Amino acid sequence: MASPASLRIPIHFDPAFDPKRTEFLSRMVEKWGKFEGVLTGANERHRYGYIGLNDRRMMPILRPGSIVLVDVSMRRIEETDWTSEYDRPMYFVEIRGGYRCGWFHQAGARLVMQPHPLSRCLPESWLIPDEAEVVGRVIGIVTRFNEPYSIPLPRSPEERGYSSKKDL
């Protein structure tokens, strides 16, 4: 096993940073710190994106509040063979007024985002290059599991449809 590479982590955010919106994190951080980790080293090809707390387009694969590692050298949507939703490439895209992160395909001059089917979000599309620009391909994800906002919990055992008590 190789020794961990140095990882830059955000310490202080720009006052305009809104955690509810998906943003290009590299632009929203005023001060970076060092952390020992294996996600990335001092590679100029890599940038960070943040998935806003209101962005549920790629749930359950990409949860709100996740940080994505983006390879900015990979700026073309590739039509590759994939066998599962985990193999399908994700991209970070700048659109007019924000960002999107997820599955994309290009149909002529139109860039189409296909949200995860379980998210219940509708597909979106934009004209390239007037309305959208591919920032890069997502190559890593840091996320939390089982956050309160990701799984609605029933209030009582009766609402859950089960109980830890056994029927007598």
Count of the separate structural domains present in the chain: 1
pTM for this model (two decimals): 0.69
Q: Is residue 137 part of a domain?
A: yes
> pLDDT confidence of 3, banded at 50, 70, 90?
very low
Give the pLDDT confidence of 93-145 residue by residue, as tens digits. Answer: 999 989 999 999 999 999 999 999 999 999 999 999 999 999 999 998 888 77
Domain of 43: which CATH number? 2.10.109.10
Within a domain: 154 = no
Establish if 100 belongs to a structural domain.
yes
Render pLDDT for 25-35 as a digit per residue (tens, 0 to 9): 777 776 666 65
Range of the domain at 94: 5-145
Distances (CA, A) of 58 to 90, 142, 149, 162: 10, 14, 14, 30
Average pLDDT, rounded, for the chain? 79
How far is it, in rounded angstroms, from Cα 6 to Cα 34? 6
Residue 108 falls within a domain, yes or no? yes
By the 8 A CB rule, do 89 and 78 touch?
Answer: yes
